[in-house]
Amino acid sequence: MAHLDLANLRTTLLDDTQLAAVALHRTLAGHLPVSSGQLVVCDPLVQAEAPALADYTAPAGRHPVEIIVHSGRPALAVAWFKPRQALTASALHWQMARWTTQDLTGLDEDSFIGYPVDAGIGCFMDTDTQQALLALIEQADGEEGGAWSNALVDHDGLDEGAEYRPWGEDSPHGLVVFTSGWGDGVYPSYWALDTSGHPVALVTDFLCIQNGDGRDEREIADQAYRDSLPPEEAEALARLVAAVERDDANALRVLLKDAPQRANQIEPGCGGTALFEAIRLDRPQALRVLLQGAALPAMPERLHMSRVTSYLEYARFLKKPRSAELMAVLEAPVIADRPEPVAAPRRSFWVRLFGRK
C-alpha cells in the first residue's frame, strides 16, 4: 500500500481548538473556481502545463481552500467540495491522487507519487483556468521574468494561501496558490471519498508534520507530563515555586512536609523545579529548606543543557555569579549523621552479685 499518513489527512477535519492542541491552525486561502471538473495540482511557476489528475472530477462551483499551518508554513492544503463541518473522519476513504500514466499498485508503504516543486509554490486549479494561464504565459514569452510570474512571487500571504486572479476579479478563472511547506520537493495529494465513492475534498500533504501532530518530541513529552499530574499535585508544585520566589521558608516546609520529592519535580508553569528556581533566583534560604540537609539530587534530564547536567553546573553556568551563601549551600559536603552510642544493657543486681569472679 502507498504512503498514507491518515492522522495528517484527518487534521483537516479538526476544529480550531483541536488544531491548537497539536500546534497547528487553519486559514482560509480563498475559493477555487471549478468549471471543467478536471483538477490540476502543480508548481505553477515551473510546471503550469502539468496534466490533470485522474480517476475523479470535482463538482462545478467555487470551493473553499483551507491551509493547515505549522510554524508559519503550510503543512496541508485542502480544497473542500462538501462543507467540512458536515463530514465525519471515520466515514471517509482516502486515495492517493495520480495521473493516468501512473500505477499505485506497485508502491510500498513508504513510497508515494506527487508533483515536483522547484520554485517553492504549489497550487490547485481547474483545467479551464490552466488553459487561461498557459495563454498568459505564452503572451509573456520573451519578457524577462514575466509580469504574471513576478506578480505571483510577490503576492501577499502565500504562506497562508491566497487566490491568484491575474485576469481580474470578474474573470471565471482563478487558482489558489500557497508556499510548499518548507521548500522544494515532491509532494503527494489525496482524494477524500465519501461512502458513495464521490470526492469530498482534495488534500496536498507537504510532509511538514507526522501523525497529525505539529509538536516536536519534547513538546509531546511535556504535555504528557502535564496530563499525568493530578490537579492537586500540579497546584502544590505551583505553590512551591511561588514560595521560592517569595523566599518563604515556612510555606516551603509545609509543602514539603509530606512530599519532600516535590523539590525536584518539574512545575509545568515555569518549566523548572523548585531547586532550579531557587538557584536561578539566588535564594539561598529557600535552597537550604528545599534540600533539608540532604545531598543535591540529580537534575531532571528535561532541564539538561549543553555542558550543564547538574544543579551545581547550572549555578556555575549562569552569567551573573550566584551569591557566596548560595554557592556554599550547593557545595557543602553532606555529612552522614553519626549514630547515637548505644548504652550497654545494665546487669541486674543478682547477676552482678553472683556473677562476680
In this prediction the pTM is 0.75
pLDDT of residue 47: 93
305-349 pLDDT per residue, tens: 988 999 999 999 999 999 999 999 999 875 443 444 555 566 554
Taking 50 as the pLDDT cut, the residues of the chain under it are 144, 335-340, 349, 357
Helix runs in the chain, H state only: 6-10, 16-21, 127-139, 147-153, 217-228, 231-246, 249-256, 274-280, 284-291, 311-317, 324-331, 349-354
- Provide the pLDDT for residue 25: 96
Closest by Cα among 184, 171, 170 to 45? 184
* pLDDT tens digits for range 247-287: 999 999 999 999 999 999 999 999 999 999 999 999 999 99
pLDDT, position 337:
39
Predicted confidence at residue 149, as pLDDT, reads 75
pLDDT, residue 348, reads: 59
pLDDT tens track for 55-72: 999 999 999 999 999 999
